[in-house]
Structure 1
């Protein structure tokens, strides 16, 4: 694109943003590829496929992976298409809460924004905690024990938690250094994920001496949940679907950085569905390769289904080190992108006066970076993950999977609210250049039903010890996803009734209002 064309595109983007009620505060330097890259990076098959592999293994076994991944990817892609249509019509940093407020009014925007914020905080926390866990395991293999990497159980997990705080600090620093740097990092991340997965696939195919049979990978069932076998199909196996539903999430980031993207009405829309599609395809090959290496089921079960234990049982330590290194770097890329998305959502929601201390979180510095929002989101992610410091009696931190569940519940509920509202509007909706045409009439209600189902599934106890009323009940085994999500929504609901409904009018309606709210340091 020539300089003249870039200038014309920039002018068109700023004009469209002004029509939606905002001045160009953030630096619009991201290309369409970089917009796709942040979503592809946040989905990060090098993160989710590795860190939550054990969830599917323990709750369903190979069939939860070989059949669960492709089947669950289909409704996720439908949700992505519905969101692509919305971001094309409304390319703003507020993303989904802005869409909800536009389509349904302030109260819809209010609750959508809070669900989205909860989800983004949780996904940042879960990715960075997972990165810290894999990093510490890698440290242990190299004999580096500063964070108890050579130990097991509670001491190891205590070390992981402190390493997690350091990872969060690193990602906050990267985000504060500049939007352009983050965009470049995300571009590198795409190639790291593609190249890294290619290397891992080659290792998993050619290095292990033996591989599992096709029959094992596509028909074998495992139930390590502790729940009875009669609960396998309707309770245990659905819990295993968290692997797919969690890994392929965070694609709303394309909307959150749309004010920083050139040609956002088209580029951000394509970024949403393409990041889902390519992640689903590449991730499936990766998961199959991992599962085909399993020939010692007892060893994997003894390691609670961890993908790290799968690798250790299948090959020498040198190869395990290589795979963990590739995965850790990918997870670090992912965590940085997650914090970028969370901070932009916090900035946009604060810009409209919806968060306590809004004037603080909506400030940007001289380089147009919302520094305060970055630090605030990192702090919230750390606070949410504190229960992970206290593992259960087996030395397993159930809290990690609780945070994962919070991310899925918060994000997908936020996704589906504007999808429902767009469906309710019918043909009166004014689409952008990228749209679903008449297909929205079945896509949107399908997406709503699917999110309702997974929300119920992922608030359920994941182990008998986490079920209230049972003799073995322990708070360290509780899935606290419904407590956190429900508690926050109850609090902001009361806030709405008691006063916010009189002060929060949705997204600011004019550029003049925005200029009055934002102080540039």
Structure 2
């Protein structure tokens, strides 16, 4: 790919799969956004929306996997966009990289914000005198980001081990939660409850409210580009990285549907549970009792912390690669690698700081979580869509890698692009009514600020020096430069 090797290939096939499976993290995604879905469509959208969106995301993931096999680098999306563009390669690469950056920062921020919320729910259950506040949530989020940044700085090998453990934590935790929800309650909702529709968004249009509920599934299925970003640290990356992407999506879709159904049918008092501070926690309490609910809540919190850690690791690799080509302020600083761990330590702290900036509005906004989720979904899926669109436009000129879709590559890419455009328009729109300063969806503002900065910088200076991914020489010359 034209780069001297700085990163150690310590990720096997399972490790590469684990990074995306952990970031998708069905337990974290479903539990953190289930309450929003209860008001935006209810069981009908939660279940059937999960199935429909999962299929669409699989189209996106398969197209990305095909590109990952052809261009297995840490730069991933922005690198492949620069290589697939016919003209203006620097501009395509530039904007893809910035969208990927803000989307990944949003993923880290939203996951850790959700973890902070659930930690407070656990503390409130354990000590009833404790009353969670928005300010405490932001403070706990900052503490989580600090710990995850320290882990990525000083215990890199441990992070790799934790990513492997996280897969089993998710699977065993899923089985435990589902088994409890199925076996313990004396009765469940009737079979037809799955078609129950609810609109508590404040908007009178039921269709619009139901479409907003699709955010639950879309938020869960983000971050599978992590396998792509870890390519330079994965053995046989041209095969293992694309397999990691597709397997992570497929396994998450199936296991997530089981968990979604278990939660939906365990509902006892829909109105009261939907109005609770943390609706899925209240469902566990009502269905299983306080003691069991607290134990399972620890499983959920652990899954969220694993997810946030993997998010930060992936985010850091994207920053490293983007800076390596001189596309970020202070690029020389962010793409430097620690001689001890062979990882981009300074990029870790930039990722943590940017994630903290995104959650600060949670100090006063009660829709901060869904806004950060929208930043995550829109930023990432737009970044996913650019190289897929360019691959589609390139037609037969695309040179696939060992893992490819054959003659189905272009139709699959076409479906992926259409879904990305439609879903991203939806998630930029208001998510609660009436629209006030505290209920405003600030995702468009956050994305606009980033794109305006990127555009001003592009036309002021970057377009004259940034031409897309940099090549450091021929394969033999680059091999001689390898730092490992």
> How far apart are residue 117 of structure 1 and its match?
0.2
The TM-score with structure 1 as length reference comes to 0.89
Q: CA RMSD in A?
A: 1.8
Residues 30-67 of structure 1: per-residue CA shift (max 9 Å, x gap):
10100000000000011101000012111000101111
Q: Contact (CA 8 Å) 1:364, 1:519: kept in 2 or not?
A: no
Separation (CA, whole Å) in 2 of partners of 1:295 and 1:213: 11
* Aligned pair partner of 1:174 in 130, 142, 151: 151
Aligned residues: 476
SS at structure 1 position matched to 2:434: helix
Q: Does residue 270 of structure 2 align to residue 297 of structure 1?
A: yes
What residue ranges of structure 2 are gaps of 5+ in the alignment? Answer: none
Contact 1:30 1:180 (C-alpha < 8 Å) held by counterparts: no
Report the counterpart of residue 122 of structure 2 in structure 1: 138
Structure 2 residue corresponding to 1:216, chosen from 193, 214, 219: 193
Q: Judge conservation of contact 1:94–1:348 (CA < 8 Å) in 2.
A: yes
Q: 1:108 and 2:65 equivalent?
A: no
How do residues 47-446 of structure 1 correspond to structure 2 at under 5 angstroms?
47-104=28-85, 105-143=89-127, 150-151=130-131, 155-217=132-194, 219-228=195-204, 231-233=205-207, 235-303=208-276, 306-366=279-339, 367-391=341-365, 397-446=366-415
The range that moved more, 179-188 or 279-288, is 179-188
The structural deviation recorded for 1:315 is 2.5
Deviations 1:171-192 (A, max 9, x none): 1111112433222111000011
Equivalent of 1:498 in 449, 460, 468: 460
Summarize deviations over 1:253-291 as a string: whole Å, max 9, x none.
Answer: 001111001111000010001000000100110011011
**Aligned mates of 1:436, 1:447 — CA distance in 2:** 14
User: Residue 480 of structure 1: which of 413, 430, 442 is its match?
Assistant: 442
Distance 1:178 1:423 in 2: 41
State whether residues 210 and 295 of structure 1, in contact with CA within 8 Å, keep that contact through their aligned partners in structure 2: no
Q: Normalization by structure 2: what TM-score?
A: 0.96
Deviations, residues 350-397 of structure 1 (Å, cap 9, x unaligned): 010000010111111112111110000000000111011114xxxxx2
Contact map agreement 2:6 2:482 (CA 8 A) in 1: no
Report if aligned partners of 1:58, 1:304 keep a CA contact under 8 Å in 2.
no
3-state secondary structure, aligned to 1:120: helix
How far apart in 2 are the matches of 1:179 and 1:96?
24
How far apart in 1 are the matches of 2:417 and 2:468? 23
SS of residue paired to 1:341: helix
Structure 1: unaligned runs, 5 residues or longer: 1-19, 392-396, 467-473
Post-superposition shift, 1:295? 2.1
